Each structure stands twice: as C-alpha cells, then as structure tokens.
Amino acid sequence: MSIKRAALVCGAVVMFGGGGWYAWSRQFSATGVVSANGAASSPVADGGETVAVSPTELRQVQLTPEKTAAAGFSMATAVSQPLQHEHLVPGRIQYDDRRHVVVRSATAGIVVRLLVRPGQQVQRGEVLLEVNSSEVGDARADVLQRTSELQVAQESSQWARETCEGLAALSRSIRERASIDSIRQQFRTVVLGKSREVLLSTYSELLLSEVQLKTAEENAKAGVIPGRVVIEKRQAYDQLEETLTSQLEERSFEARQLQLQTESRQQDAERRLRIARQHVRTLLGSADDEAVPAEAGDSESALSVIQLRAPFSGTVEQLNISSAERVEASAPLLTLADTSTLWVAADLRQREWRALQLQPGDKVRVIPAVEGMEPREATIHFAGREVDPTTNAVPLVSVIDNSDGRLRPGMFVRVAIPVAEPRTTLTVPESSVLEHDRQPFVFVPAGQDLYERVDVKPGLRTDGLVEIVQGLREGDRVVAEGAFFLKSELLLQGESE
C-alpha cells in the first residue's frame, strides 16, 4: 500500500474522532509524513522531497458553498451572563403525595358495580364503584331512627316552650284582673296545656268571690247583714287568691321544668344523630353532609350500598378488584392519582449539603434520562431534616409540572443542584467547544465559507453553557451547530495537504 493511499485511509478514520488522529500522527511521525508537533509533509514522487505544511494553515477550514449549505451551521455569540456551579445528582419521579390516594372500603362487603377501568380519567365526585355492606345498612337505618327521635324531641321542646310562654302571659293578665271573658278570648289559641282549665276555673271563682265580698261590704255598711258575713267572704276571697297564686307558681315551675327536659332530650337527639351520620360518613369514606341517599325511602336495598367517589379529578392508576368480588375492610380497591404535577425525589450527600439552604419555592433543573426530552424546571417542596443512616443522604423533594403527561412515576432523572453562588462570566454554547489532543478549541468565522480554529481554556459547564476563561472576548462569534463537522474537515484537509 502506498503512503498516499495509507494517508487517505487513515484520514477517513480520523473523521470519527480526534483521538484516532492523534494516535495515527504519533505513529507515523518517524516517516516524515506527520511530525510530532503537528506539522505535516507530503512526499513527492519525482524527487523524494517533502513540502512542510505550517501549523497555521492547519487551523483554518475552507469549505465549498455546497458543503456549507449541507452542514447547516448555526452561529452563537460569546456573551457574559450569570452562571452557577451545579452538581448533577440522581433522582426519581414519584407521585405527588398530595394528589395520590389508595381508595379503600371502611367495611366489608360485595362489589355490586364497577364503573371504572385502569387508565380512565375521572372527575371529582364521580362514582368509582358500589359496594353492598350490611354494616352500612345498619348505620343508615340508625340515622333514620335518630332523625325520627330528633323530630319528636323538637316537637316536645317546642310545645313545652310555648306552654311556658303562655303561662307567663296568663299570669300577667290575672295580676291585671282582666275579665274572664277577655282572658278566654285572648288565650283561646295559646298553648297552656293541662293548666288551662284549672287556672281559669280558679280565677273565675276568685272573681266571683271578689264580687261577693264587695256586695257584702256594701250591705254591712247599710246594716242589712252582720259584719261576720263580711269577714267570712273576705276569708273565702283570700283563700281563693292564695290558691290561684299557688297554682300559677306550681304550673309555671312544672312548665319550666318540662321545657328544660325536652330541650335536653332534643340536644341529646341532635348529638346522637350527628354521631350516627358521622359513622355513616366514615363507612362511606366521604365528608359529605348527606349520610343517607335520596333513594333510601324508595328502596331498602339502597341503604346498604356504598358509593365510593373520586376525592379529586385524576386517573385510575391501578385496579385491584373486579365486579361481584367480596372485599374486606381496609382492603385496597384502586389507586387514584392526579399526575398533572409530580414529585422529583433526590438524595443530597455531603458534597451537596450546601443545597440544604434551598427554601420551598426555589427553582432547580431536572434533566430526564429520555432522549429528546428537554430539561424542565421544578420547584422545591421540602428538604429533609434527618440524614438517612442507610444512604447517608438527606432527601430533597421538588414539584414538577407534568401537564403534558410525558413524565411517568418511577422515571430516572438527574437534578441540577446549585452548590455555589452564581457569578457573571463569558459563556458560549457547550456544542461549540471541541477537543483535539487534549486541547479545547472553538471555530470562528474567518471569511466566506472559511472558519478558523481558536484554542480556548474552558471553565464551568452547566445548563448547556461553557465558561470561557481564556481565548475569546465578549461579542466574538463562534460556530454552535456543525462544529464537529468542521473538526473532521480540518483533519481531512491536513491529511490531503
């Protein structure tokens, strides 16, 4: 194989990496084709002399217009901007615990209707399944009984209160000595209970006795009757007045006691009804106020049916039962999750503990380990307070938006954790910086379809950017996309010289 042919073959190999070119150049430096310092020479057939190519000429790439169009170059400008040192730590996508629930039945029963399937979207309050439970039926029947008892207690309390108020009004009328006819007319529709006939009868006798006493006093003054009769009439009147007063006091006290008793029974009935309703809500797994379904009065079987509803809008992630299956209390029936937001869990070890200064609401970058998926921003939810003795790490949990549904719980990601304060520095895109013979460099435009290699000293790399410590100035233009194509062309042109 001739030297020229060997050079062409090796030049093609160089297109796939600078490392191969470096090994090839070192191997053939002794032949005079390529020197150790990178200068190339080409043998001439007629005289055996070689023509050296200077390193300066090998730093430029001249392309044809066709190659420039095919390469699809894009340019970038070296600019100063804030850059922050970050550590990439492994993480996992998890369900958001605030929007993830395992639906369970609080009581044993039989699944009578299954209304969802895995992967189905459901809305908040939508019925997921129905379970027939005798315990729930007993609890709902108890609610109905307690409701009836409360109604009776309320009516009794209302009657006792009205009776007490009526007796107080009657006492005022009696003290004012209203006529018996006006009292009967006034209190015709007022609740007085058993006291009505007793008090009105005694009051009528008292009014009659009062008239008789006045008549006796007038007759005694006229000498028609002896004074002894007046004394007897006065004694009868006083006795009736004391009897009426005593009756008013006793009836008022009894009415007041009855009112207190009925109010106490009403309060007890209300408490027992609340307890019964709470028991049903516990069995139903719902905080709704309606403990008994509307159709309970129409169908006794409806009393024993539990309708398990979605506590929030989400997706049925897992289904553990089937229709007509018997379930036990607390058995997991299905898993419901809202995956519009997810958690990113990462472990912070000692070298990342500076990140513990992050506060809820701070932002971090999450880089999915899926080809073609761009990095996303996540918001710090909380940082753990305790070091896990098994992993010697502190958990860090962030909330990430997943409204597009591309992220899945369990996915592996990398989390960019800031470990230093941001600083302003000169940067270029990471795709612009290449390396050959352990020397980083970039390509800058040097003319029409002409590009020149410029050695640089890179620094911090983060978020697709590279800090340029030395070699460029702000405003310099560099090749962003297509730089590797230029590197291959540079090496090939060096071979062809």
Report the C-alpha dihedral over residues 457, 19, 87, 391, rounded to 10 degrees: -150
In tens, the pLDDT along 119-169 reads 999 999 999 999 999 898 899 899 999 999 999 999 999 999 999 999 999
pTM metric for this prediction: 0.55
Q: How far apart are CA 29 and CA 69, in angstroms?
A: 35
* Residue, of 485 and 26, whose pLDDT is higher: 485
Least-confidence region, from 93-107, 344-358, 384-398: 344-358
* Unique residue bearing structure tokens 């410590």: 469
Q: What is the DSSP code (8-state) at residue 420? A: S
- Confidence at residue 496, expressed as pLDDT on a 0 to 100 scale: 62
Residue whose tokens read 């230093």: 420
- Can you state the angle between helices 227-284 and 195-221, rounded to 10 degrees? 160
In tens, the pLDDT along 409-461 reads 999 999 988 776 777 888 999 889 998 888 999 999 988 888 889 999 998 88
Pure H helices in 32-82: 65-71
CA distance 296 to 129: 18
Q: Which residue has the higher pLDDT, 139 or 31?
A: 139
* Three-class DSSP category at 190: coil
Residues 182, 204 contacting (CB under 8 angstroms): no
Measured between alpha carbons, how far is 112 from 322 in angstroms, rounded to an integer? Answer: 9
Token pair of 34, please?
Answer: 């390529």
